[in-house]
């Protein structure tokens, strides 16, 4: 079984408009499917992921002679991208340390140094895939899926302190209800949390199966025929554990600021909460005026910084081959 099947792979690579010898950022490498396509085009790659399993998978995948010196892999959250690029000495040293041939300066290192010395924007394009990987959902020990009986974990970064088990057992009632309403649009949130409270008064809820049973027992009979009634609850808890929406808007602006003129930013989002944030930022970056429409003249002095392209859904062929791509949408803009 592959580590991960990348969604909208060809569409994203086409949208990036990759140029040979230029540096591109993949802020969410996952199994490296998109990243390797960037390297195949003789471009340079800065890959970021917070999941150590993904880091190790990509290191093994890219350990090929033709890619040597053309990439750097960083274990971090893409939301910290500004601090990653602000520490330029550390960034350059990372490329040196990851080079297999210590007798020559890696190509990506040379290009980075030149850009930094000339005060240029460091990357020519960037992409984010905001979904979780097949490995994360299909690996029982990660506790992200209700399909397996496993410890309630749900962490993308297994070194992070907060787990789903802590959220379920230790968060106050009002906060849990808010999470289910806001992150899962769960209409039976109050009933579900009421039943969670009843159980956790006598014992901790420690497994995905326990949580799944509580959710299913909270759903009225006439709705029990719906497929996967646990889906919204698991999504909501996962978003909370991984702070998936917190800081997302700012990080998109931060990444955009690193891109040179003519470069593109591509983002694949999967649910309405992500779609909304990406659309909001892209609308701001591509708008020439953000004044109230009732005003007779523009007074905001807002100037657009990018042009937008039509959003891209998965093809019929991809949907047939990978049902997990059904909710994915690719949006991309080009910096002016």
Q: Which residues contact 297 (CB under 8 A, 6 or more apart)?
A: none
Q: Give the domain CATH number at 255.
A: 3.40.50.150
Q: Which residues contact 116 (CB under 8 A, 6 or more apart)?
A: 88, 92, 122
Sign of the Cα torsion 239, 242, 246, 249 reads negative
Regarding whether 187 and 148 lie in a shared domain, the answer is: yes
Q: Which three-class secondary structure string do you get for the chain?
A: CCCCCCCCHHHHHHHHCCCCCCEEEECCCCCCHHHHHHHHCCCEEEEEECCHHHHHHHHHHHCCHHHCCCEEEEECCHHHHHHHHHCHHHHHHHHHHCCCCCCCCCHHHHHHHHHHHCCCCCEEEEEEECCCCHHHHHCHHHCCCCCCCCECCCCCCCCCCCCHHHHHHHCCHHHHHHHHHHHHCCCCHHHHHHHHHHHHCCCCCCEHHHHHHHHHHHCCHHHCCCCCCCHHHHHHHHHHHHCCCCCHHHHHHHHHHHEEEEEEEEEEECCHHHHHHHHHHHHHHCCCCCCCCCCCCCCCCCCCCEEECCCECCCHHHHHHCHHHCCCEEEEEEEC
Q: How far is CA 37 from the centre of its chain?
A: 18
> Is 104 inside a domain boundary?
yes
Could you read off the pLDDT tens digit of each residue along the chain, which spans 336 residues?
Answer: 677 789 999 999 999 999 999 999 999 999 999 999 999 999 999 999 999 999 999 999 998 778 988 999 999 999 999 999 998 877 777 777 776 666 667 899 889 989 988 999 999 999 999 998 888 888 888 999 998 999 999 999 999 999 999 999 999 999 999 999 999 999 999 999 999 999 999 999 999 999 999 999 999 887 766 667 899 999 999 999 999 999 999 999 999 999 999 999 999 999 999 999 999 999 999 998 878 878 888 888 888 999 999 999 999 999 999 988 999 999 999 999
Q: Which residues contact 255 (CB under 8 A, 6 or more apart)?
A: 25, 27, 78, 81, 126, 128, 265
Regarding whether 253 and 190 lie in a shared domain, the answer is: no
Of 29, 103, 119, nearest in space to 68 by CA: 103
pLDDT, position 225: 64
> Is 238 inside a domain boundary?
yes
Cα 270 to Cα 232: distance, rounded to the nearest angstrom: 13
pLDDT, position 116: 86
Last residue of a domain, one of 242, 270, 287: 242
Of 195, 245, 247, nearest in space to 220 by CA: 195
Regarding whether 183 and 262 lie in a shared domain, the answer is: no
- The domain of 15 spans 9-130+245-335
pLDDT, position 104: 67
Regarding whether 119 and 25 lie in a shared domain, the answer is: yes
> Is 92 inside a domain boundary?
yes
Regarding whether 150 and 37 lie in a shared domain, the answer is: no
pLDDT, position 288: 87
Regarding whether 156 and 113 lie in a shared domain, the answer is: no
Last residue of a domain, one of 242, 263, 281: 242
């Amino acid at each position: 079984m592959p580590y991960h099947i990348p969604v909208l792979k060809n569409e994203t690579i086409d949208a990036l408009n990759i140029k040979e010898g230029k540096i591109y950022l993949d802020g969410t490498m996952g199994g490296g499917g998109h990243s390797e396509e960037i390297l195949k085009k003789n471009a340079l790659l800065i890959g970021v992921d917070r999941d150590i399993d993904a880091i190790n998978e990509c290191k093994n995948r890219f350990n090929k002679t033709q890619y040597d010196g053309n990439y750097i892999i960083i274990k971090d959250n893409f939301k910290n991208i500004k601090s990653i690029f602000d520490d330029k000495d550390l960034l350059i040293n990372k490329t040196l340390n990851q080079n297999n041939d210590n007798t020559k300066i890696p190509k990506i290192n040379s290009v980075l140094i030149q850009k930094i010395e000339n005060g240029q924007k460091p990357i020519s394009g960037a992409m984010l895939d905001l979904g979780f990987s097949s490995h994360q959902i299909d690996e029982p020990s990660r506790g992200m899926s209700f399909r397996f009986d496993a410890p309630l974990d749900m962490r993308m970064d297994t070194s992070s302190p907060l787990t789903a088990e802590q959220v379920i057992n230790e968060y106050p009632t009002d906060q849990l209800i808010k999470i289910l309403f806001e992150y899962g649009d769960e209409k039976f949130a109050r009933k579900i949390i009421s039943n969670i409270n009843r159980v956790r008064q006598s014992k901790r809820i420690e497994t995905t199966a326990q949580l799944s049973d509580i959710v299913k027992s909270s759903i009225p009979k006439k709705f029990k025929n719906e497929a996967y009634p646990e889906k919204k609850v698991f999504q909501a808890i996962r978003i909370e554990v991984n702070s998936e929406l917190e800081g997302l808007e700012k990080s998109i602006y931060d990444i955009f600021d690193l891109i040179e003129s003519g470069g593109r930013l591509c983002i694949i989002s999967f649910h309405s909460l992500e779609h909304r944030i990406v659309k909001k930022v892209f609308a701001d970056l591509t708008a020439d005026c953000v004044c109230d429409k009732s005003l007779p003249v523009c007074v905001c002095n807002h100037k657009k910084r990018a042009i937008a392209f039509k959003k891209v859904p998965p093809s019929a062929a991809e949907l047939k081959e990978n049902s997990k791509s059904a909710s994915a949408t690719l949006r991309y803009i080009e910096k002016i």
